[in-house]
Amino acid sequence: MQIESRLAQIGSREDPVTGAVSYPIYQATAFRHPRLGQSTGFDYSRTKSPTRAVLEAAAADLESGDAGFACSSGMAALTTIFALFSHGDHLIVSLDLYGGTYRLLEQVLSRYGISASYVDTNDLDGLESHCTDRTKAVLIETPTNPLMMVTDLEKVSAWAKRRRLLTIVDNTLLTPFLQRPLELGADIVIHSATKYLGGHNDVLAGLIVTKGEELSRKIGVLHNSLGAVLGPQDSWLLMRGMKTLALRMERHEANAQRIAEWLYEHPAVEDVYYPGLPHHPGYEIQKRQSSGNTGIFSFRMKDARTVEPILRHLKLISFAESLGGVESLLTYPAVQTHADIPEEIRRKVGVDDRLLRFSVGIEHVDDLIADLGGAIAAALQEIGEG
């Protein structure tokens, strides 16, 4: 069955009692045992909850994995996976990565003797040179956030397999609708489901999907032991959001492509980072391994002085963190999402004070262009360049 159909039908056949097409919200923590030693399959909601279980099965199915796990946030999903590792272990991580992941590695895991190297994951020689006896996994974001660098998943997964490393892919920006890393050789996929999967800027959630029985069992134990699980209300809201994922992604992509092309021609803009533009270095890889492009991109203004007035003059587009919602959001990575990454590393990957990230919503594209165009014009006027 096509993914659009599977998305629309999440949970629709799961309630055998009433036939409810929308799966019930089981707001229960404990489950009665029919007899001692017998269980309905549910004992305690941290371990397994009916509403969460339907979501988890859907996530596993959509990502072509063996098991799914829903967590209280994207960072909770990542924390749960990192608990696979022990003192002395080493990880290889995408150079241009989400600030929260960097903070978790450098401020928390470093205290437990778990170290990380930040590498361009598209460079096999670079990967090879950072790989040691203690290296246990490679964590890839593709495309990266915010500079949209693309990693060849098949190539890197194959390399990781030869080196007996786990390949973990953050698939937040593309979702299984556009890219399925497990089919390309990855072992674990994670999501900040707060973004496109939820899609409405209203649910904080994380998902893990694993391949293989042993790995699925291990993550299951950690998910239960650490306890950073997703509640039933949010599990239900997330499934509700996922039912329209296909439609939303198509519109996000179409809008983003059109606005990226428009900005690329804009005289006040230095560059646009979007794998849907033919000049983007990841254009070909992206086309091969994914069925489309995400709805966010970054662009660099020529003059840093325009940034503040642009944000101030926007009327339709919100100035807020996060991405992947139906509403358009503009983010200033250097002060918002990536503030925790030291300036030196930020500059190295290109997150500077002229860079803006646009999470393009599903509003009418002409309204978005008019709003951003108007704000850029007003900003240029203010700094005396208009």
Partner 1 sequence: MERSESRFATKLIHFGREIDETTGASSVPIFQASTFHHFDLDEPPVHDYSRSGNPTREALETYIALLEGGARGFAFASGMAAISTAFLLLSAGDHVIVTEDVYGGTYRLLTTVLNRLQIESTFVDMTDFDRVQAALKPNTKAVFMETPSNPTLKITDIGRVAAWAKEHDLLTMLDNTFMTPYRQRPIELGVDLVVHSATKFLGGHSDVLAGLIVTKDESLGRRVKQLQNGLGAVLSAQESWLLIRGMKTLGVRMEASERGAAMLAEWLKAHPGIERVYYPGLADHPGRDIQAKQSSGFGAVVSFDVGSGERARRLLGRVKLPLVAVSLGAVESILSYPAMMSHAAMPREVRHARGITDGLVRYSVGLEDPDDLIRDLAQALDGD
Which residues participate in catalysis according to the annotation? 46, 98, 170, 195
Q: How far is the CB of 202 from partner 1 (least distance, A)?
A: 5
Phi and psi torsions of 45, nearest 5°: -60, -25
Q: Are 325 and 199 in contact (CB under 8 A)?
A: yes
Q: Are 120 and 150 in contact (CB under 8 A)?
A: no
Q: How far is the CB of 238 from partner 1 (least distance, A)?
A: 11
Q: How far is the CB of 146 from partner 1 (least distance, A)?
A: 15
- Cβ-based nearer residue to partner 1, 83 or 246: 83
Q: How far is the CB of 221 from partner 1 (least distance, A)?
A: 8
Residues 38, 338: Cα–Cα separation, whole Å: 49
- Cβ-based nearer residue to partner 1, 76 or 93: 76
- Cβ-based nearer residue to partner 1, 111 or 162: 111
Residue ranges binding partner 1 (CB under 8 A): 27-33, 35-37, 43-46, 49, 71-79, 83, 85-87, 100, 103-104, 107-108, 111-114, 194, 198, 201-204, 206, 221-222, 224-231, 233-234, 237, 308, 311-312, 318-322, 325, 329, 332, 335-336
Phi and psi torsions of 167, nearest 5°: -105, 120
Q: Is the dihedral of CA 275, 281, 284, 285 positive or negative?
A: negative
Q: Which tokens hold the place of 243?
A: 């039912």
Contacts of 349 (CB under 8 A, 6+ apart): 95, 96, 147
- Cβ-based nearer residue to partner 1, 49 or 257: 49
Long-range pairs, 349-353, Cβ under 8 A, ≥24: 349/95, 349/96, 349/147, 350/96, 350/147, 350/300, 351/96, 351/146, 351/147, 352/300, 352/304, 353/304, 353/307
Pairing of strands 90-94, 329-331: unpaired
- Cβ-based nearer residue to partner 1, 61 or 308: 308
- Cβ-based nearer residue to partner 1, 233 or 381: 233
- Cβ-based nearer residue to partner 1, 185 or 206: 206
Q: How far is the CB of 230 from partner 1 (least distance, A)?
A: 7
Q: How far is the CB of 242 from partner 1 (least distance, A)?
A: 15
Long-range pairs, 109-115, Cβ under 8 A, ≥24: 109/82, 109/85, 112/87, 113/87, 113/88, 113/89, 114/82, 114/85, 114/86, 114/87, 114/88, 114/89, 114/90, 115/89, 115/90, 115/91
> Of 376, 351, 173, 150, whose CA–CA distance to 263 is shortest?
376
- Cβ-based nearer residue to partner 1, 5 or 38: 38
Q: Cβ of 63: how many Cβ atoms within 10 Å? A: 27
Residues 56, 344: Cα–Cα separation, whole Å: 39
Residues 222, 385: Cα–Cα separation, whole Å: 56
Q: DSSP code of 30? A: B
Residues 176, 328: Cα–Cα separation, whole Å: 21
Q: How far is the CB of 281 from partner 1 (least distance, A)?
A: 30
Dihedral Cα 324, 329, 331, 336, nearest 10 deg: -70
Q: How far is the CB of 346 from partner 1 (least distance, A)?
A: 18
